[in-house]
Amino acid sequence: MKTFTKKLLGTMAFSALMAGSAMATECEVTHWWTSGGEAAAVAEFAKAFDATGNKWVDGAIAGSGGVARPIMIGRITGGDPMCATQFNHGRQAEELVEAGLMQDLTELAEKEGWRDVVHPSSLLDSCTLDGRIYCVPVNIHSWQWLWLSRQAFEDAGVDVPTNWDEFVAAAPALQAAGKIPLAMGNQAWQASGAFGVITVALGGIDLWTKINVDKDGDAAAGPEMAKVFNAAAAAREFRKNSNVQDWNQATNLVITGKAGGQIMGDWAQGEFQVAGQVAGEDYECLPGLGVNQVISTGGDAFYFPKLDDPEKTKAQLELASLMLSKPVQVNFNLKKGSLPVRGDVDLAAANDCMKKGLAILADGNILPDGNQTLSPDTTGQIEDLMTEFWSDDSITAEDAQARYAEIIANAD
């Protein structure tokens, strides 16, 4: 397998081997990819990197980015940086870059023409500060999916919905059959994410952009947004009794037919795959809730803290170049269930849902991810509000909207 990868990597790997053959440079990479599919995807990186004569030291930290990021930031600001680290696209590492703690990748990017290969180009923009490039986007993850269990709807004796309105109409039948219409875990980001999906699906891209990009408080307080809040208030009735914490436990409710559907990002697909379910047969996926076919282009990126050791710096650049190379992009994203960041690779092995995503991506019906447009602080405030709103019936749609508008108006 190793030799195969080496061949695949071609001359670049070969030259690296020549240069670094004396001693393998260890490179510790921190990330929070610990679920089955995620770990398999990371292994692709590691395998390819080891083949260049360097050594991938895995620094996985479990418990989602929320647990891992403080540790990574602590390491970097504490003067003991790792060789490379994962962050989500966008503003999470902004200040670390501003403080000059991150490696400048511009030279490499220009040499390899990242501007031309990375698609959509907004991904690279998120890595760019004052014209310099500081990170490597590795995949695209989109939030805007409604996952539906065929079995649940059959048990309830109704057709599998093809859009959100039909889903709402079918919900009482599901409830009558003892199903949870909408599975949702108790973590704040899930509530907030689902709300974002409802916003873009029912309110449209323009409204979403006004609020999340332009931070227009008036739009957030307006009548169009009021519709979205009312829809969400209705939807929170559907999520009752989903007594789970983690997102994939909620997905599991859909897989086992105990719940009708779940609003969750495309990473949920990995869970269906692990459970041996087939898209279109056992489960359905509706991008943009079947209303507004768009996907957001958030995802993961790798940053490379500045290191004193020139050997390590060299290894960092090799890793950066490797992560964006064609074969690694294909292997990694197939395992991860995410979309590649290059438009010029072939993903024949992708399943139905992934293909739907690729088609939308090719059509350019894309919007940036919340992480790219809002600061982590604002994101956190919205999460607090949303988790409260989704779990507490006493908060009316009007109250929640007023508070939401205030957060948006004060966003930085």
In the complex with other proteins, the residue whose CB is nearer, 43 or 317, is: 43
List 205, 275, 317, 350, residue binding other proteins (CB under 8 A): 275
Q: Which stretch binds other proteins (CB under 8 A): 11-19, 240-248, 309-317, 349-357?
A: 240-248
Q: Give whichever of 151 and 186 is closer to other proteins, judged by the CB atom.
A: 186
Q: Which stretch binds other proteins (CB under 8 A): 75-83, 144-152, 197-205, 260-268?
A: 75-83
CA-based nearest residue to 115, from 284, 341, 373, 393: 341
The residue among 182, 386, 143 whose CA lies nearest residue 288 is 143
279 bridge partner residues: 283
Considering only residues 7-36, where is the footprint of other proteins by CB under 8 A? 28, 30-31, 33-36
252 binds other proteins, rule: CB under 8 A = yes
Stretch that binds other proteins, among 223-231, 295-303, 306-314, 370-378 (CB under 8 A): 370-378
Give the per-residue contact string, 91-110, with other proteins (x = CB under 8 A; - = no).
-x-xxx--x-----------
340 in Cβ contact with 266 (< 8 Å): no
Beta strand extents in 281-409 (DSSP E only): 283-287, 295-296, 300-303, 366-367
Which residue stretch of 73-81, 110-118, 155-163, 197-205 sits at the interface with other proteins (rule: CB under 8 A)? 73-81
Q: Which stretch binds other proteins (CB under 8 A): 57-65, 283-291, 308-316, 356-364?
A: 57-65
State yes or no: residue 278 binds other proteins (CB under 8 A).
Answer: no
Stretch that binds other proteins, among 8-16, 137-145, 281-289, 373-381 (CB under 8 A): 373-381
Distance, CA of 173 to CA of 358 (rounded, Å) = 33
Task: For residue 210, state whether it binds other proteins (rule: CB under 8 A).
Answer: no
* 3-class SS of residue 144: coil
Question: Using the rule CB under 8 A, is 377 a contact of other proteins?
Answer: yes
Q: Is 58 in the site for other proteins (CB under 8 A)?
A: yes
Rounded Cα distance, 367 and 370, in Å: 9
Spatial separation of the C-alpha atoms in residues 136 and 393, rounded to whole Å: 42
Q: What angle, rounded to 10 degrees, do the helices at 376-391 and 223-238 form?
A: 50
Q: Where are the alpha helices (DSSP H) in 78-215?
A: 94-98, 106-112, 114-117, 122-126, 150-156, 164-176, 188-198, 204-212
Query: Any idea what DSSP says for residue 262?
Result: E
Q: State how far the Cα of 237 lies from the Cα of 291, in Å rounded to an integer.
A: 21
Cβ nearer to other proteins, comparing 158 with 279: 279
**Would you count residue 277 as binding other proteins (CB under 8 A)?**
no
- With a CB cutoff of 8 Å and minimum separation 6, the contacts of 315 are 20, 25, 27, 54, 83
**Comparison of 222 and 380: residue with beta carbon closer to other proteins:** 380
Where along the sequence are the contacts to other proteins (CB under 8 A)?
28, 30-31, 33-36, 39, 42-43, 46, 56-64, 66-67, 69-71, 73-75, 77-80, 82, 92, 94-96, 99, 186-188, 243, 245-246, 248-249, 252, 271, 274-275, 375-377, 379-381, 384-385, 387-392, 403
